[in-house]
Amino acid sequence: MHGFPPSTFQRRRSAALHRLGKGVMVLPSAGRVYRAGDSELPYRPDSELFYLTGWTEPDAVLVLRGFADDARVVLYVAPRDPAAEQWTGIRMGPGAAAERLGLPPADVRPLERLSSELPGLLTGADLVHARLGEAHGVGEDVGSVVVRSTVASLALARRRGARTGSGPRGIVDPGGILDELRLFKDAEEVRAMRAAADASVAGFEALFDRVVAGIDGEAEAEAELLRAFRRAGASGPAYAPITAAGVNACILHYGANDAPILEGDLLLVDAGAEVRMYAGDISRTIPVSGRFSTRQRELYEVVEAARASAVEACRPGRTVEAVHEAASLALVRGLVDLGVLSGDPAVLLAEEALRPFFPHRTSHWLGLETHDPGDYAREGRARLLEPGMVLTVEPGLYLPPPGLFQGLDLPDPDPAAPFRGLGIRIEDDILITDDGPENLTAALPTDPDALEARLTG
């Protein structure tokens, strides 16, 4: 359960059951992922199932019944199997699972009972909250049971519902309930996210030391991060790291990480550690020589000013859009000062003159997933920030050189020419509190002078 007490998950299930009303929710575990053939990648549990139970083994299905008087929480898990466990590891089994999760033993059942019992568990619900397209994640057989039982219940309700007033009459996305719950982090989650942020910072600090000592290429930078994450107590990376040197930093989701790092390059690193299932997410752009060139520093200072403006905007009552606007306006002003853009910053922003240089948003929610679920707008209006939310702030500027992308249309003369080939992103993780933004990753410097001092010792 990754260090969370059973009471944490009991509270979450109670909140979900309350919101379910007369509905039923069916959540299968994540499926196994194979690299090739039967070579299995490390298993990563389904975030929703973990959020409500703490369960981390494959081949499981959770059923929540908001309408029921008994068996309101039923969990199906794989039974003990010594022959299988010799190959893939020890299973907990229903008995130990019930004790660990704090559930009645009768409500933690062997997975083979799912096909015969699920139709009855759905009976009486008005809606089924399930992602049928993802039900195959627990394996084809189990996924078929979930789909078949749900469809059969809908068909039965169609035939009998008008007279009996019972049976589900529709399928809805469980995210309608769970996304909102997951958007607000409780005290246990905040502790996990602070630990993930700390482990992420430790990885970057280790990389900074290696850069100063000399590093051969992007692959070595990635390896140093992964080693340091595990050494800091993380289960591994929260997502595939980006270690992009030179012009590769102009590719937003660069992932090859196999190019050499040359003297004078900037190295854009976007990486985060996962601790107790929660993600850290940091970006830093560092001069591998230890010091920025004049042009590198000029562009870096624009992005750093945008980061600081966006963090300041992360306050209760402000909107997610206001955070993006604060960063974007600072970027436009900086590009005007550098002569890359010309005109009134507000007008340029309205005309989307910034988009070729900053094509992504400033923020995303952070939690069990790097891009955690949650609405950014409601009824056409940007979401207000509230205490307990965690989001990233990651402005950037990307000026690809001619020829990097086919058909890149550059003006002649190009006012951005002195900065072509530079890609810069700076990212921190921000917890919204009653007192304003708490920067969970503030221990890692972003100020260019502080960054140079850290790199050169």
* pLDDT for position 135: 43
Q: Considering only residues 119 and 51, tell me which one the structure prediction assigns the higher pLDDT.
A: 51
* pLDDT for position 124: 86
* pLDDT for position 115: 85
Question: Tokens standing for 369?
Answer: 């997933």
Residue found by looking up tokens 């590769």 in the block: 248
Instruction: Answer yes or no: is pLDDT of 361 > 70.
Output: yes
Phi, psi of 378 (to 5 degrees): -135, 130
Which residues belong to the active site?
Answer: 38, 253, 270, 281, 360, 364, 371, 394, 398, 425, 427
Question: In Å, how far are 7, 446, 453 from 101, measured between CA atoms?
Answer: 9, 42, 49
Q: Categorize the per-residue pLDDT at 144 as very low, low, confident or very high, splitting at 50, 70 and 90.
A: low
Q: Is 261 exposed, middle or buried (0-12, 13-18, 19+ CB in 10 A)?
A: buried
Cα 330 from Cα 344, distance rounded (Å):
12
List CB contacts of 411: < 8 A, sequence separation 6 or more.
none
Q: Categorize the per-residue pLDDT at 40 as very low, low, confident or very high, splitting at 50, 70 and 90.
A: confident
pTM of the model: 0.93
User: Coil, helix or strand for 301?
Assistant: helix
User: Coil, helix or strand for 141?
Assistant: helix
Instruction: Answer yes or no: is pLDDT of 432 > 50.
Output: yes
Q: Considering only residues 167 and 46, tell me which one the structure prediction assigns the higher pLDDT.
A: 46
Domains in the chain, CATH or no CATH each: 6-182 (3.40.350.10), 184-456 (3.90.230.10)
Q: Considering only residues 169 and 92, tell me which one the structure prediction assigns the higher pLDDT.
A: 92
Mean pLDDT, residues 352-359 taken together? 97
Mean pLDDT, residues 36-50 taken together? 90
Each residue's pLDDT tens digit, 16-34 = 999 999 999 999 998 888 8
Mean pLDDT, residues 370-385 taken together? 94
Instruction: Answer yes or no: is pLDDT of 238 > 50.
Output: yes
User: How many CB atoms neighbour CB 309 within 10 A?
Assistant: 21
Say if CB 64 and CB 52 are below 8 A apart.
yes
Question: In Å, how far are 93, 131, 456 from 137, measured between CA atoms?
Answer: 20, 10, 48
Instruction: Answer yes or no: is pLDDT of 52 > 90.
Output: yes
Each residue's pLDDT tens digit, 293-304 = 999 999 999 999
High-pLDDT (> 90) share of the chain, %:
77
Instruction: Answer yes or no: is pLDDT of 6 > 90.
Output: yes
Phi, psi of 227 (to 5 degrees): -60, -45
Instruction: Answer yes or no: is pLDDT of 209 > 70.
Output: yes
Q: Which of 60, 140, 76, 145 has the alpha carbon at shortest distance from 108?
A: 76
Write the DSSP assignment of 344-382 as a string of letters.
-HHHHHHTTTTTTT--S-S--B-SSSSS----SEETTEE
Instruction: Answer yes or no: is pLDDT of 237 > 90.
Output: yes
User: How many CB atoms neighbour CB 451 within 10 A?
Assistant: 23
Q: Categorize the per-residue pLDDT at 214 as very low, low, confident or very high, splitting at 50, 70 and 90.
A: confident
List CB contacts of 268: < 8 A, sequence separation 6 or more.
242, 243, 244, 245, 248, 249, 283, 284, 285, 423, 424, 425
Q: Categorize the per-residue pLDDT at 212 as very low, low, confident or very high, splitting at 50, 70 and 90.
A: confident
Q: Which of 426, 446, 408, 423 has the alpha carbon at shortest distance from 246?
A: 423
* pLDDT for position 123: 86
Classify strands 108-110 and 73-77 as parallel, antiparallel or unpaired. Answer: parallel
Phi, psi of 341 (to 5 degrees): -120, 160
Mean pLDDT, residues 202-212 taken together? 93
Q: Which of 29, 35, 46 has the alpha carbon at shortest distance from 373?
A: 46
Question: In Å, how far are 242, 444, 457 from 288, measured between CA atoms?
Answer: 16, 16, 13
What are the strands, taking DSSP E only, across 131-272?
171-172, 236-237, 242-245, 266-271
Instruction: Answer yes or no: is pLDDT of 140 > 70.
Output: no
Instruction: Answer yes or no: is pLDDT of 166 > 80.
Output: no
Which of the 8 DSSP states describes residue 140? H
User: How many CB atoms neighbour CB 172 within 10 A?
Assistant: 15
CA angle, 123 as apex, 120 and 129 as ends, to 5°? 105
Q: Which of 321, 295, 285, 292 has the alpha carbon at shortest distance from 427?
A: 285
* pLDDT for position 35: 87
